[in-house]
Structure formats: C-alpha cells, structure tokens
Amino acid sequence: MASLGTTAKTPRKKPLQARAQATVEALLEASAHILASAGYEALTTNHVAERAGVSIGSLYQYFPSKEAIIGELVDRHCDEMNRLFAEVFLASSHLSAPQLARAMVSAFYRSKCRNPALSRALREQLPRVKRLNRLEASLDQMTEVIAAYLTTQRPLLRVETPKQAAFYAVHLVEALCMASLRDPSALASPEAAVNEITDIVMRYLFP
Amino acid sequence: MASLGTTAKTPRKKPLQARAQATVEALLEASAHILASAGYEALTTNHVAERAGVSIGSLYQYFPSKEAIIGELVDRHCDEMNRLFAEVFLASSHLSAPQLARAMVSAFYRSKCRNPALSRALREQLPRVKRLNRLEASLDQMTEVIAAYLTTQRPLLRVETPKQAAFYAVHLVEALCMASLRDPSALASPEAAVNEITDIVMRYLFP
DNA sequence: CTTGAATATGAGTAAACATTCGGTTTTTGT
DNA sequence: ACAAAAACCGAATGTTTACTCATATTCAAG
C-alpha cells in the first residue's frame, strides 16, 4: 500500500466519452456487487477491476484511491435515501400524523429493499471508512427534519422534547427496518413489518 | 499474510505459568484498547504485541491467528453480556412486567457502559469478521428467552405474537442503547435514556 | 545445582495489495 | 485521412502485514 497520506484525493480524469462513463459505472457496479456478496475483505481493487471487465489501470484513471470508490458508493446510496425521504415527506406533509409516519417508514424500508445485501454491507461492513459518516449524517439530517415537524405537532404530542423524540424515532425506525431486512423469512411480510414499526413509533410519539 | 486457509485454529500452547497468563491478558487488553481507540485498521498483530509489551513471537505462542484474538475478545464480551442478562432476568423474574423491563434495559445499558468505545467497536467495526455471529447469536438467544416470557404474559399482552414482539423489542432496545451511548451529551442522563427506552418497549408490548 | 520444560524473543519470510507508469488502442474533430 | 486527445492496458513496484523459526531466557522440580 503506497502511503495513504499522500494519495491524491481528486480523480485523475473526468470521464468524458460514453465508454468512459460506462467504465465508471461498471466499476461502481462491480464494487457494489462484491461488497454485497463477498464482503469488504474481498473488495480489492484488482478484484473490482476484473469483475468490471476493465484493467486496473483504468480504475485508477477515474478513482484516485480505493477509498474514493467506496466513498462514491456511499454518496450515491445516501443521495438516493435523502431524495426519497424528502420526496415522501413533502408529498405526505398534508396527511395526518399516522399516515405520514407510515409513509415515511414505508419509504425508508423500501429504499433498503432495493438492494438489501448492499444496504447491509454499507451499514455493517464498512470499517470506519471516514466517508461512512455521511450515512450517519443523513440520519442526523432526517432527525432534524422530524424534530421540526414534531415541534409543529407539539399540542398533539405525548412527549415533551421533540428533538429527543425525533432522535429515538429515527434510530428506532432505522434499526428495526434493518433488522427486519436481515431476517424476512422468520417474520411477517414487508407490509406487516412496516405496519408494526409504524405502530411502535406512533405509540411512542402520540397518545 | 500466510495462507489463512491452512492457519491452525487451535492455540499452540496453553498458558500454564502465571506469567504466561499475564501475557495472554496483556495481549487481549492491548487488542481491546487498540480496537476501541484506533479502530480495526490499526489492529495489527505487531501493534498489539508492541502495546502489550511482549514480542510478536509470544503472541503466536498463545493465539494461532489474528482472528483468534478477536474471537476471544468477542467471546468474552458476549459471555459477560449473557451472564448479566441471565442474572438480572432471574433476579427480577418475580417483579411486574414494567419493573422487569426496566431492569433488563438498565442491565443492557450498563453492560455497554463499562467500555462504550469497545462496545461500539465490537458492534460497528467487526462485522467483517465471521465471529461477530456470536454477538448476533447472543441477541437471538435473548430474543428466545424474552419470547418465552412474553408467552407466559400473553393475557396481559397487547400484541398477539410473542416471538415477533420479542424480536422487535430486543432489537429496539439494543439499537437505542447503542445510539444513546454514541451521543450521551446531546441527550439526557443515562437514567433518563433507560427510562425512555423502557417506556418505548412497554408501550409497544402492553396496553 | 542441574536439567528439562515452559516462556520469550525479533529478525526474517512470503504473500497480498494498492498504486504507478510506459506504452497501445480507440475516438473525435478537422 | 490525420493528428491530438481520451481511454485503456497490465506487468512491475513498493509497502504492509500476518506469521515462522532458530535461539535465548526463565522457571520448577528433584
């Protein structure tokens, strides 16, 4: 491993032509597949390049380091999650609290269902790659939005501290969605899981 | 790295004399410290030996591989958690459901408080290592015990499926304890956290 | 005190791995 | 068709790291 400290942090080149874009996508897809199916241990640059069907040299034309690939993977995952969260929140903000809650839990659950194995790997296998903070940051941002919403609902609220309530609510939903995802066979259907989780949060937040 | 596949899985020697025992303890303590303070990346065998104040050769007298050290660390952590769980469960089984719940949550929380950094590291940085299954296995075992208990409380229960309820309850408690642990400053005191988490579980399980 | 077993040592080995670089092929614009 | 740019290639490099082994030291029992 050449000194990580001096590794360039910016890509060597931007992919301009269509085939270069395809190369980048293939590399990211290969990384996601390896991470999801074989774990972080198996995620070596050579392995990624091989699976992507490109040479190791090409990999380093577009990613300055192995960490940069993972970073991009995390970034995309977070962006997708944030996008869905914002979309559903806005689209459902006029609904009642229970309906909104259900919509949010469902959205969260479905966003993880797109690629359960990858979701798990990103959450569980990424050894403190600095970038993983972005996932925590996403949750923190959600917490703030929820806290603001709860403040507007204060009269109806069972709890008195919206910020704290949002913290527990978000972590609760995240953890139970991931847990349900891990073992979907032993438990009920996805819809049932969403219902149950929604129920738990609602009972906590509202009378 | 010598071929992992053919690495011996049993220790070379059992530590018989007192100084050998001390060496083993020093190695485990060093491993825990490095893992908690610097993360898995920094957990190299040479680093462990250095911090333990013994030579790398001594390390390999008592542990057949790096993975074996981590395995022992996880084993001890799980054993401690299981011990505390069983003890508190037996000692409190005659209490009312809310009191029992609070005792269990408190015990869980306190067991993580012994060494928060290590608890986090074992939970968040280790899923790459196969052995982490032991931690999941511990949770699964707890779930079974709780499910059995809930079955005896069925008439009082709000939910109808003890097994599923136990699953959500255990994961909920675990996740929220870890989350509270991560950011104890922003939230209330440990007692308040335990109370809140207990409250959430109780509202879910009982009317 | 002697002797054998247990313990400790640390330079050395080999393999894995991230990253580089010199050179080739393909595409684009003219 | 022809240059220039972009993309691609993969053997080679240098470092990291898990693990070994030949040797030295300490302990315990007779």
Q: What parts of chain B have a pLDDT lower than 70?
A: 1-11, 128, 131-132, 184, 186
> pLDDT of A82-118, one tens digit each?
999 999 999 999 999 999 999 999 999 999 999 999 9
Find the mean pLDDT for residues A46-60. Answer: 98
Structure-token match 């929380």, residue found: B109
pLDDT at B8: 58
CA distance B111 to A190: 33
Chain A interface disruption, residue of B41, B44, B168, B183, most A CBs within 10 A: B168
- Whether pLDDT at A3 is above 50: no
Q: Which of residues 136-195 of B touch A (CB under 8 A)?
A: 164, 167-168, 171-172, 174-176, 179, 186-188
| Mean pLDDT, rounded, of chain A | 91
The nucleotide minimizing the C1' distance to residue B45's CA is D18
DSSP code for A126: -
Cα separation, B14 vs A165, in Å, equals 51
Residue A5 has pLDDT above 80, yes or no: no
Cβ(A39)–Cβ(A22) below 8 Å: no
Q: Best residue in A191, A203, A205, A206 to probe B by mutation, most B CBs within 10 Å? A: A203
Q: What is the pLDDT of residues B139-186, one digit of tens each?
A: 999 999 999 999 999 999 999 999 999 999 999 999 999 999 988 676
Residues in contact with A178: Cβ distance below 8 Å, sequence separation at least 6, in sequence order: A112, A119, A120, A123
- Using CA atoms, how far apart are residues A39 and B129, in angstroms rounded to an integer? 10
At position B174, the amino acid (one-letter code) is E
* Chain B partners within 8 Å of A39 (Cβ): 128
Rounded Cα distance between A41 and B163, Å, is 34
Say if residues B48 and B30 touch (Cβ distance below 8 Å): yes
Contact assessment for residue A26 and residue A58, using Cβ atoms and an 8 Å cutoff: no
What is the model's pLDDT at position B128? 65
Q: Is A2's pLDDT higher than 50? A: no
Angstrom distances, CA of residue A201 to CA of A100, A168, B85: 12, 9, 26
The burial of B53, by beta-carbon neighbours within 10 Å (0-12 exposed, 13-18 middle, 19 or more buried), is given as exposed
Residue-level pLDDT at A6: 41
Residues in A closer than 8 angstroms to B200, CB to CB, are 168, 172, 200, 204
Q: A117 CA, C15 C1': separation in Å? A: 30
Q: Please determine, for residue A188, whether its predicted confidence score (pLDDT) is greater than 80.
A: no
